[in-house]
Structure formats: structure tokens, C-alpha cells
Structure 1
Amino acid sequence: MALERGKLILSKKGKPQIEIGGKLFNPARGELSQSIWARLKELHGTEVEFEREGGQPKKIREVGSQFVPPATATAPTGHSKTFHQKGAGHQPTAGQPRTVKREFHNPYNFIPAPPRETNDPDLGDHEPATHDRFHSDRFTGRIRVTMEAITPLLVPDPNSCREDDNGHKTFALLLDSDGKPLLPSSSVRGMLRSAYEAVTNSRLGRFPRTNHGKRLAYRMEAREGLRLIPARIENGKIHLLTGTSEIGNNGSPSGPQYAAWLTRYSGNNKNTSRALTYSDGSLPQHGDKVECWVELVQHRSRKFKYWKVTKIDKIGANLGNPPAPSKPIRGWVCITNANIERKHDERVFFCEGTPPAGPFPVTDELREQWKQLIENYQEIHEEDLERRKKDSRRPDEYLGPKPGQTAWSRHVYTKKDRELQDGTLCYARLKNGNTGVEALFPVMITRELYPVAPWHLLDPSLRPASTMSELSPADRVFGWVMGDSDNQPRRPKNSRAFKGLLRIGPVTCDTSPDESVETFPGDGLPLAILAAPKPQQGRFYVAASPQGEAQRDGLSKIDAGYKPGKGLRGRKVFPHHSGLPANHWHSPLEDRTQRSNGPWQEYRRPIDNGREQRDDQNRSILGWIKQGARFSFDIHVTNLSKVELGALWFLLNLPERHYHRFGGGKPIGFGSVRLAGAECKLCTGLLLREWYRGWSDQGRSEEIPEDAMAAFKEALVRAYGRPRGKGSFEEISFIEAFLRACRGFDDALPIHYPRVTKQPHPQGESFKWFVANEKPGGRFALRDLVDDTGLPMLQDV
């Protein structure tokens, strides 16, 4: 059904109305999309889209978004485990709530990072204590720490890496000369720094603008592709190529599809044996200027018409007599390769008569937008292209129907396509009223850039420091190196690094090799596939506001994405896997991944058709550190303030059954450790001076850390209490979330990457869950860590 547009108006009583041609309509509540109800006052006076039924506007939604019934987008509050109907294909009746069983937890979540109190004397920003002396009111000394492995630890030896011909890598465990596990001090330091940043709400140590200043892209909904109009760049202008149709409502053609279909691919391998060729037998190439005979065709299963090329040749060739019934056209061949399983045709862009709009100038904004979009495509697929190159496969080869096997579109691997040049064939989306071009795209079903980059959603108080005066607590304690924090020029006289006030000594294994090391024979243990970060998934990574809280379920893809006024979820963490059975880590080489009921062996890649799965998607290990292995190390501190020391002591003495995460494999359950401050020798600069004067041990104090921890908690409540200065330490949002991550979940749900199968899949294929989540009945967001009741299984549709 064709979409129409009108204006959303609020009555004096705040009731939503739709103005169409000067006439007001009063739609029922269920006819307004959830995104409109969520921003009702904000959208007053703006244009909306709708469908007409019986003269009345129905399914009213924001321009360019999908209609979501209001009842399907609002989840009840509280801790209920059922909110929505299982199955991505289920669409409830408007007004009836959906219910679904929450069946698993995502392996990662986020600790909120609200805007910081940069002026706070203890937790704010200021220059660190200097290293030239022991400051009289600051603490210096040594803390002895013990660390116990609660789950197996993965600490691979990078020098032992063995890579097979198919790209599969196998690692041995990193051991010392005595055969005991060797833990790098730098890894322990990294674990502590991440935790210290979280509990002090410090600046993010690593968040370079060069990476996060680029806008991310999301896959456009298929229906949005109908709004796109074929175009060609000529003499710095955008010429629309609309075929024989006028531009209808919302950019869609009023008649046949804009571009003519050119037969190209056939068979399971997408060969070109039946392709339409030139008179000399050669295949039409991208950008060729051609003349064709075309005939009008009614699509067999869908309600649209299109022009089909019946004969083609380069300009100037003799096409001969037209196959009846046909008409002649001139245009340009657009080849994007066999990039989807069911593709059989390419396109010829053409325009009969005068285009209904344009030409439009290629603005600097459009050029930059295009460049960022193509760079995003190419960066995302960089590893895929490198893999094909290694296998001597062309990027335009069709290798199979699965994602990654189809041919890549030319803009994915052609570097020169990053720039808009004369002769570029593309698709244009027009602004309202066809007054100009809003955006340009390389293909019809394409990615689109979110309105803003992640960098712009991170509060300036959380961005990496650019000067010494901006150092936050974690920067001062653990050290700082200037990056490209805010694209500021680096002045030679400015300091670019600070050593920090903390050092981790050598880590010693206190248990024997037999008690601390487990090795695996042969080719070792094939680990499960670890997913790469996907920040383009706005439902998981984007917050409803700068405070970091989760977004609602049911939002459209663009509404859940990177938009002004939103925020980032915070610091990524991998909650402890609590509730695992006692034998979970026993007999790891035995495949127990396909049992009917969980918890499953999420750390192991399943056997497929009797064969172990070892390829470039996963890794194998020849050993791990056993549960119960114990280690010890010293933390040497210099000139820590009482609050800085208190934050450190808090991390070394977490409540019972709370654990830090260390090493690799955290998403699949590895790496939980228990820290404890075993011995403490600290003194202030004043006492240290007295000690040196009198050669006595009066500088030692065992009570200082507990006193310091109290000072840290008081400072945090003062700066971030709810409201400021009120409420307990444990109620502060990022402390509450941090403790939840350390403790894990209490509901016994399994923890694994989203998937559409109950048991682990040999090929991973978590992408299928995300595809299903964009369909009606899905659109689930990752909930706040403290209130995370899990995600539903979705059907593979």
C-alpha cells in the first residue's frame, strides 16, 4: 500500500491528530507507532507517514521508519522474566501485550559511565602528584596481593602460535622455566586499570577519535530501497535516471521500476552462461554506455512492473530489429555482482525524456558522507577480502549462498570507489518535496550511516585526557599517554605522558605445575568462536541518554541507533558465569555441546558431522590454568591520595563471591579470579620522613587501607549519589553494575552469544539472531546490567 504524508498536531489537551490537506483526523491510539508515542511533544508539527484505509490514516509512523504497534514496543517494568511472545515472526493484536520467555544472557553488558564531576577535589580532573619527592599527605609503599583462579584461565604463549593452511591457530599455555603458569604483570595491571576506571568513573583510557569519530552504518530495511532513485554523476552534478516513471510518494516510482533488468546469473554457482551479451559475445561491464531493446514485464509474484532488457550493445552498434514488443532506450550498465543468493539480474540505468527533478549539485557534505559510507563497507570486510586473497579467490566470485560466500559488491573492494567522481553510478534519496539529494548509496539495498558518530555521544568529561590538567583518577594512578583525544594540536612544550603512581611486580605461581596446569594432547581443545565487537548494533551499544541506561524494546533500527541526545552504554564488561555445575570444566575434549538441556559446554566448538571444527573462525589451545591455582604479586604505590588508595583497596577486597575477569575467553566463561590484599606496608610521606630520621618502623600502618576505603566511598557518594550526596555507595549506578558483573546473575540462565538454536551451533551463526531481531515481533534491546533478565530465543525466519 502506498504511503502518504501528513502533519502530526497536538490538540490543546495533548491529543495527537493528523492534519492532511488542512483537514484534521483523530486516529486511534493503536494506529500511532510506538516511536511517536515516545516522542509525542518533540514531534508536534513534524511530518509523518501513514497508510489510508477507508479514507482514514492508519499505521502512522515517523518518516522513513517502520510502524511498531505501541503495545509491542513497551516492556513492563520490574524483574519479570517474560515480556514478549517467543518467535520473531509473531505479531500480536494491537493493544495486547506480548510475552516471551527470557532464555539466555548475552556474554557482555555495560557499566554505565555518566557525565563526570570534573571539579570534584578527589574524583575530578587535575594534575597528578609529582615524582620528585614523597608528599607528606600521600601514601607510599607495598601491598601484597593473592589471586586464585575460580575458573580456568587462558594465557596463551604468542611465540608458540602454530597456524594451519586454513588459517586455524593453535596456542600453548605460557609457562616459566619451572613449568608453572607465567602471568605477565602487564596483564594484571590491565585488569586492575579497567576495574579502577569503572569504580572511579574515570575517563576512558582508550577511545581514539580517529576510530570512534567515524559514523557507523546499519543495514537499511528492504522497503527503504524502494525510495532510492538510480543516478549518475556528471560534471559535478547528480542526474536522476528514472526510466519511464515519475517520482511517486516517498521516492518510489509511480510506474515501472526505474532501472531495466539485465539477465546475468543462473544456476547454483551464479554462472553467466545465460547472460545477455553484446553482439561480439562479451559481457556488459560496469559503466558501459549502451543502447537496448526493452519490454515491459509484470512480476509473477509481486505487484510491480519492470523493464526487461531483451537485446543490448554498446552505443553505435547496430541492434537490429526489435524483439516484439519492445522499445529502444539508452543508458549505463550498473554491475554490483552476485551479492545475494537469489540474484539473477543486473541493471541498466536510463531516463526517457526530462527527469522529474534535478540535476542537483554534489555538495561537500554528500562527498564526505559517501566517503565515510564506502570506508565503513571496506573496513568491515577487510578480513574477508584478505582471506579471499590468501585463498587465491577473487572478491567478485560467488562461492556459495551463505553470508561471506556470495560475491562482494564492487564498492566493497574497489579503493577508488571511496570518492565520488564523474561517471559514478549510484542511488539517490531525495529530500522532502524533491528539493535536493539527502544521501547517495552504492547499491539499492544498502548500509546507511547513523546521524552521529560514537565519539559525539560520549560526554566530553569521559573522553581521553588531552592535557595533564585533565587527568582523571585512573590516569593519575595507572599512567597516561596523550592520544588524539579531541583532535587538539600537540604543543611541544606540553607533557605527553605521565608514568603513573602504581607498579605491578612479578607474578608468582604458588602452586605446583601438576596443580596449576592442565594440558591437552594432540591438536588440543578447539575453542568456541569468539564474536568480534559489533558497535553498529545500536540496540546493544547505544543508551537512551548520556546516563547510560538501556533503550526500550521495539524501537526501529534508526531510532535505536546513534542519534543526537542519546549516549553510549558505558564500559564493556563480561559478567562472571555463576551457577555453572561442578563438572562444567571436566573432560573438556569430550563434546557435550548438543545435550538436550543446558548448561552447555559453551567454551568448546561443537563437532560437526563427526569432525572437529578447526578453521580461521576459532582457535585451539594445548593447555589452560586449572581452577584453584594460586598466585601472588606486589603492588608498589607512590604518592597515592587517601581516596585513590581507597579505590584500589576496594578492588582488592570485594565482597564474597565477587570476582575479577582476567585473560582470554571471558565471553565463554574463562578468566574469573579472586583477589585479596594479604599484606600491607604503607606510610605517608610525613611518616616516611620521620622513619628515615629515626631509623624506626613507625611508618608502617595496617589500618590505613580500611580508612582509605571509607574515604573513597564517601567521596563517591558526595559526587554521584542519587541525588547528590544522598543514597548509599552500593546504589550508585556504576558501582551497582560493577558489583553485578563481578557476582554474575542469580537466575541460572545460560550465558552465550545470541543464536537461533537452543544448543551451540558448529558455525556460530549469531548473525541469524540479529536478523530475526529486526523483524516484526523482535527488536529487543540489551537490558541494563543490574536489571538484566536475559534475551529471548528467536526463530530463524
Structure 2
Amino acid sequence: MRGFVNPYNFIRFPKEKAKAYEDTDIHTGVIEYTVTTKTPLFIPNSSSDHAFKESEVKDHKSYDFFSYTELETDRTYDNEYHVPVIPGSEIRGVVRQVYETLTDSCMGILNVDAYPVKRTMGQFKPALIHRTINGKLELLNADSYRIEMACGEKEDGSERYSNGTIVYFNRIRPGGLIKYYSFSKDGDFNGSGCLIKWGMGCRKKRYHIFAGKNAQSPEERSLSKDVIERKLLPVIESYLSQPNVSSLNEKAYQEYKQDLQLFLKEKGEGYFPVCYSKLGNEILYLAPAVFSKEISDHNIETLAGSFSPCKEEVCPACDLFGYVRKNNENCKGSKVRFSDMYVREKLDVKEYYLNSRITLQNLGEPKLGNVDFYLKRPAGAQFWTYDYYYADQKLSVYPGELRGRKFYWHHQKVNLPKNIVPVNLNKTVRMVKEGIEFSGKLYFESISQKQLDQLIWILNSGTEGLGLKLGGAKPLGMGSIMCSVDRVTERRITVDDGKIKYILDEADQFDDITYESVGFSNTVKKEFYKIAGLKTVPADVEITYPKENEQKGKLLDEGYKWFTNNLTFVTDGMVRNRESMKISEALPQILDQDFSLPYNDKPVKKNSYKNNGRNGKYGTRPAGRIG
């Protein structure tokens, strides 16, 4: 191993999605099984998000483990323990994901409407959204000017000028500083434009003016309110969702968003400042700054292709577990039901838990913008996104290809973080310790023998040294469990002498039920066995989100550094654009002999867009030109 192992990887998709089985035999009964925790487990009792005294820290959340106790929100439970329970819904979700994978089914739980957002070095151009007299929307190229005008608030706390305010001035060279201007047509001025808050923030006491170049030749006529909102609002939301967004920047993002929405509601002719970038004639990006983020032209449903949730013809997983569609149309009930799981051994309640509580580091949400991990590298590509890639600095517009289904590696040794200070970005939790057994039941009704055997194999996979992942904090090693089946009971209904009888057939031996015999996918077997293996990753290899060499063995902080250094440039000069970008390392494949990544030992580039100390109103910006 050359370095660390990323906490997750992806099991590839097969060539095509499987169809629901056509078996006609029917079986009804119950599978009794045991779950054993192999690492600490955390499932929150969401009846209170201030369960412990750490919640005295403003906005810091803390959770007890799930139990049947309804926690009171006006008190804490630092030294009070409750018998842990694993909700049936939790184990159901885990089993369904595995079943989907092993049967070449769809991904039933997928945010299909999401459009991934990616940061690049593509330089956006100034423009104006023009609303014509008849209400049509078009995009006009614009020149950008600085304007010597203090920004800030009025006495009542409102902003002095909003984005889009019309200003009259005498034109000078683009990029120059305008000192004399007016907010009315009165005066001898030969130019006009729209105000936009300067990207470097109010600290510089500046606005910018975007003035249209040629209204007779729009850059883009096919704009609509829906297109503008889809291409621009998610970019703003991505900045607002950053955990470390400053109050000043947050206010600026919200202001720009509100000004844009107001503009889109108004009638009559009008203009609004925006930045844009086009790739060929196919892709248009909109943003509130010259250096910003790109929102993909393709949503997750499109990128997932046939493996997005079934709509008409169903897959094996949807046939067994059921599905719910938008507006509750064309729904199908589940043929299986998972009971809650209870501790097998009666102990003093405190003995079920690892400790009183522990504060975890902030893990954040999945970062789809890390295309080096979430997308396959196109052949020969030096840089790629969800919409295009560059090979030999030549552009190819082509939808990104998802790597597959996300799974987490199992940790042999879990090093719980210590002495983490509670803040509003992390949380404090109470965890069940390793080695606790829970028993549960899976009730099945009118399923085929094939489906029954498949469920038995998944719930008995622990006998092959395989584990599943359950609950929260999986990247830190939590939630590894081993499953084993204790008993399977089938219920048959017969009629004897005119009387209905229920016959229970029990089975407690499952040696003849193998991966191959139940008809699971040949495509994914090796990958699943490897990533589900409880001992695949050596105990002395660190499983962590990407780190710099200086962070090796330490609590991960400033996780952006590795990704910053993973992005290099094929040019030696100061030119920084899409075609000069190069992704050095991509996430290895599960079956690679060495599936680790190297610790970076390069210092973060001073002129990097992620570490230049110049945090703009609408995003962190590189040194150099402003717009």
C-alpha cells in the first residue's frame, strides 16, 4: 500500500439492469437472524438533538442511541442510559442496497433531481440577462467596469443599492475605474449598466458595473426563467451550504439570490448582471462571479441512466421491496417486513455502550464535485467533469460516467477521535460498543424460493467473513456489522377434511445456499466480496478521507488541501483555465492490487483558488483579474 485508503469506493454497474424474476412459486414465513457489531455503532434517537450537556454550545447537536424512550427536549441524559434498539427501517435500507447491487437492480434511493456542482478554473464572462418588453429573456455580452462607490447599509439596515440597479456614466476602457456617474438619466452620459457587488467583498468598498456590448446580437436567446433558476440558483446554494461560510458572504449570497428572484418576477424591460461561460454551442453555465462553480447540464437521474429508480418495468429489488413514485402514482407494496432488532443478552444497560458519549469530527455531505472520485476517468483525459473532458488540452463534450454504487470499507481497528471541541459543525453521540448482538426477524410473504434464498444469503453473509455497514459515521469506521441466520420458518396453508391448517416448516441449515446457487450477479461478485470483507484493508493501513503527508495519523483538518494539490496545470505560466487543468490522482478501482492513494507532500499552492486568502462575496477567487 502506497498510502491511505479512501473510506468509500464504488461497485461498477453491469451492462444492463435486470428485470424482475418471473418465478411463480410462492413462499411465506419468517427469517430469524442475528446482527453482531464488529465496530462501534451509532443510530440516533432523533426525539432530542440536545441529549447531552455539550449542547450548551450554541447550535451544537448531541444524540443518544436509538431506543424506545421518548427523550424530553428540556433536559439532558449524560448519566442516564436506555436499552438500545436497531430500528427495522435501518437494517431494511442496508439489505435493500446490497440486494440491489447483487441482483443488478436499480438504485431505489437516489436524488434524481440533483445537478452536481463542480469548481473549475474556467473564467466566466460578464453579461446581462435582458428581459425584453414582451417578456422574453436573452443573454447579452457585457463589459465590466469598476465604480468608485462605497457599499454598505442604510440607517435602517437595508442595503444601499441592490444588484441590478441602473447606473449612468461615460464609457471608458473595460476594467477601468468610473468616478463620475448618476442614478438618473439627467446628465451628459453616454453609457449605462447594472450594478453588481464586487466579487472581492464589501471590504474593498467597491461595486462593479456590467454594461451591455451589443443588444442586437445576443449571446444566447434560448433563456427562460426555469433555465436561469436551474443553472444559477444551485451555484448560490452550494456556497450557502459551505460549513465555513462567513456571515458577510452569506448575506451577500442571499442578497444576490433575492435580487435575481425579484428580477425574474417583474414585468417589462429590465436587465440583471450575471456571469456566463459557454463550451461550444452545447453547454451554457451561469454564475454570480468571474471565477465560480459549474452546475452540470445533467442531473443524477440522467447520469445514472437505466439504473435510476424504476418507472415502468421493474427490477428484482423493486419487485421484492416495493417502491413509491412521485405523487404516489404507480406504487407497489413490499413483500418483506423487517422487525426492530433487540439485544440478545440482558446486561446492565450501561454495559451496552462504548462510553458515555463522544464528539465526532464534522464529516459533511457527499461532495459530488470531487469528480476524481465520483466519475470514471475518460480514456486519455487529463481533466473531466459531469459535462465534458479535456484530453491533450482538446475539449470533448460528453456526459460523465458514474463509477457505480457507493460502499464503505470496513476498519479492522477503529481509532476514535479524542478531545474534539464541540462546535456547531460537529455532533456528540453515544455509541453501542463492539461485540453486542441484536436479534431480529424478516417477515416475507408470497415470494419465490429464489428470492428467499437470496435474502437468506445476505443475512447469513457473516459466515463468509463479510460485513455490512449500518448507521452513522461510517467513514470513521463505525457501523460494521456481521449477520448470521438462526432459523427460517415457512408457513404453508393446506386443507384437510375441509379444514384449513397452517403447517410450519423449519430449516436451520443453509450450507447449500451459496452466492452462485441463488443467482446473484457475476459482474459484481469479486468487487462486493472485496469491499465487504471485514479484513480486506490491513489493520496498519489508515482509512481516511484524503490527507496531506503532514496530516498523516492525525485528525483530518482542512481536507481541501489534498484535492487542491491533486489539481495541477499542464502549462508552466500564469495561464489558469479549463484546458490547462490536470487531475493527478483518481480513485483506484476496488479490484486494483493497490487500492490506496498517496499522501500529498506538496505545500498548498499560494496562488491556488482554494488557498489565496481572498474570499469573495460570491466565492473564493484566485489572485489576478476581478470582474
Query: What range is the shorter-chain TM-score in?
Result: 0.7 to 0.9
Confirm whether residue 159 of structure 1 aligns to residue 47 of structure 2.
yes
Residue 672 of structure 1, CA deviation: 0.8
Alignment-derived partner of residue 783 in structure 1: 588
Q: CA deviation at 1:332?
A: 1.9
Equivalence for 1:312: 181
Q: Determine the C-alpha separation between the residues in 2 that align with 1:183 and 1:571.
A: 24
**Partner AA of 2:561 in structure 1:** K
Residue 173 of structure 1 aligns with an amino acid whose one-letter code is F
Match of 1:88 in 2: none
Output the CA distance in 2 between the equivalents of 1:378 and 1:104: 33
| Structure with higher RCO (Cα < 8 A, 6+ apart) | 2
Q: C-alpha separation between the residues in 2 aligned to 1:444 and 1:698?
A: 70
C-alpha distance in structure 1 between counterparts of 2:274 and 2:186, whole Å: 26
1:347 match: secondary structure: strand
- Residue by residue, what CA displacement relative to the aligned partner does 1:446-505 show, whole Å, maximum 9, x if unpaired? 322323222112232x232335xx332222333332347xxxx94xxxx52313234436
Determine the structure 2 residue equivalent to 1:31.
Answer: none
Change (3 A) 1:691 1:361: farther
Q: Where do residues 686-701 of structure 1 align in structure 2 (5 Å cutoff)? A: 699-701=505-507
CA contact (8 A) 1:768 1:796 kept: yes
Alignment of 1:743-758 (within 5 A): 743=533, 745-747=536-538, 748-756=540-548, 757-758=550-551
Contact 1:653 1:677 in 2 (8 A): yes
Query: How far apart, in 1, do the equivalents of 2:286 and 2:57 lie?
Result: 41
Q: Is the 8 A contact 1:293 1:310 kept in 2?
A: no
| CA deviation string 1:402-435 (max 9, x = no partner) | xx7x943743454616849721122344686xx9
Whether 1:738 aligns to 2:528 is yes
Q: Which residue does 1:423 correspond to in 2?
A: 271
Structure 1 237/481 Cα, relative in aligned 2: closer, same or farther at 3 Å?
A: closer
Is the counterpart of residue 369 in structure 1 residue 227 in structure 2?
yes
Does the 8 Å contact 1:646/1:710 carry over to 2? no
Structure 2 counterpart of 1:752, which letter?
Answer: T
531 and 346 in structure 1: CA distance in 2 versus 1, 3 angstrom threshold: same
Over 3 Å counting, the alpha-carbon distance change for 1:738 and 1:343 in structure 2 is farther
Residues 625-681 of structure 1: CA distance to partner in whole angstroms, max 9, x if unpaired?
111111212222233322212211221232543211111111111111111112233
Deviation of residue 619 (structure 1)?
0.3
1:288 aligns with 2:191: no
Q: Confirm whether residue 140 of structure 1 aligns to residue 40 of structure 2.
A: no
Residue 151 of structure 1, CA deviation: 0.7
User: Residue 335 of structure 1 corresponds to which residue in structure 2?
Assistant: 196
For the 8 Å contact 1:428–1:437, the answer to whether it is kept is no
- Partner of 1:187 in structure 2? 90
The separation in 1 between residues aligned to 2:221 and 2:445, in whole angstroms, is 56
Counterpart code for 1:680:
V
User: What residue is the counterpart of 1:537 in the other structure?
Assistant: 370
Q: State the structure with more CA Rg.
A: 1
> How does the TM-score come out when normalised to structure 2?
0.75
Question: Are residue 770 (structure 1) and residue 616 (structure 2) matched?
Answer: no
Residue type matched to 1:147 in 2? V
**Cα distance in 2 for residues equivalent to 1:310 and 1:761:** 52
**Residue 577 (structure 1) aligned with residue 411 (structure 2):** yes
Selected match of 1:169 from 57, 61, 65: 61
Partner of 1:637: 444
Q: Look up the match of 2:474.
A: 666
Deviation readout 1:166-197 (Å, 9 max, x if unpaired): 21011122345794322212222222222222
Matched, 1:116 2:16: yes
Q: Is the 8 A contact 2:5 2:543 kept in 1?
A: yes
Match of 1:595 in 2: none
Looking at structure 1, the residues matched to 376 and 39 of structure 2 have their Cα atoms a distance apart, in angstroms, of 32
The TM-score with structure 1 as length reference comes to 0.61
Measured at CA, do residues 741 and 710 of structure 1 come closer, stay the same or move farther in structure 2, by a change above 3 Å?
A: closer
C-alpha distance in 1 between matches for 2:588 and 2:304? 19
Listed as ranges, the gaps of 5+ residues in structure 2 are: 70-80, 154-158, 391-395, 570-581, 606-627
Maintained 8 Å contact 1:294/1:311 = no
Query: Corresponding residue for 1:555?
Result: 383
Change (3 A) 1:454 1:512: same
User: Percentage identity across aligned positions?
Assistant: 18
SS at match of 2:291: coil
Structure 1 residues 691, 314: closer, same or farther in 2, change over 3 A?
farther
Q: CA deviation at 1:738?
A: 1.8
| 2:442 aligned counterpart, secondary structure | strand
Aligned equivalent of 1:54:
none
Is the alpha carbon distance of 1:151 and 1:427 closer, same or farther for their aligned partners in structure 2, counting shifts above 3 Å?
A: closer
Tell me the CA shift for residue 689 of structure 1: 6.4
Mapping for residues 9-408 of structure 1, pairs under 5 Å = 102-118=2-18, 124-125=19-20, 137-162=25-50, 163-164=55-56, 166-175=58-67, 179-207=82-110, 209=112, 211-212=113-114, 215-222=115-122, 224-225=123-124, 228-231=125-128, 233=130, 235=132, 236=136, 238=138, 240=140, 258-263=143-148, 286-292=163-169, 306-316=175-185, 330-337=191-198, 345-350=206-211, 355=213, 358-360=216-218, 363-365=221-223, 367-381=225-239, 383=241, 397=248, 407-408=252-253
Residues 294 and 310 of structure 1 are in contact (CA less than 8 Å); yes or no, is this contact kept in structure 2? no
Q: Secondary structure at the match of 1:158?
A: coil
How far off its partner does 1:620 sit? 0.5
CA distance in 2 between partners of 1:781 and 1:566 (Å): 14
Is the Cα contact below 8 Å between 1:184 and 1:507 reproduced in 2?
no
Cα–Cα, structure 1 residues 374 and 231, in superposed 2: closer, same or farther, change >3 Å? closer
Distance 1:555 1:694, change over 3 A: same
Is 2:171–2:191's contact at 8 Å kept on the other side of the alignment?
Answer: no
Residues 189 and 692 of structure 1: is their aligned pair in 2 closer, same or farther, counting only changes over 3 Å?
farther
CA RMSD of aligned residues (A): 4.1
Give the corresponding residue for 2:621.
Answer: none
- Partner SS, residue 733 of structure 1: coil
Q: 1:347 to 1:184 in 2, by over 3 A?
A: same
Q: Distance in 2 between matches of 1:698 and 1:424?
A: 72
Work out whether residues 140 and 220 of structure 2, in 8 Å CA contact, stay in contact via their aligned partners in 1: no
Asked whether the equivalents of residues 344 and 437 of structure 2 are also in contact (C-alpha less than 8 Å), the reply is yes
Render the CA deviation track for 1:272-325: whole Å, top value 9, x for unaligned: 69xxxxxxxx966533333446776xxxxxxxx841223333345669xxxxxx
Residues 465 and 419 of structure 1: CA distance in aligned 2, closer, same or farther (over 3 Å) = same
Q: Which residue identity lines up with residue 383 of structure 2 in the other structure?
A: L
Q: Distance in 2 between matches of 1:283 and 1:380?
A: 26
**1:458-477, aligned counterparts within 5 Å?**
458-460=304-306, 462-467=307-312, 470-477=313-320
- 3-state SS of paired residue (1:507): strand
Distance, in Å, in 2 between the alignment partners of 1:340 and 1:141 is 65
In the alignment, structure 1 segments of 5+ residues that lack a partner are: 1-80, 82-101, 119-123, 130-134, 243-257, 266-270, 274-281, 297-304, 320-327, 399-403, 546-550, 585-600, 721-731
Query: Displacement, 1:241?
Result: 5.5
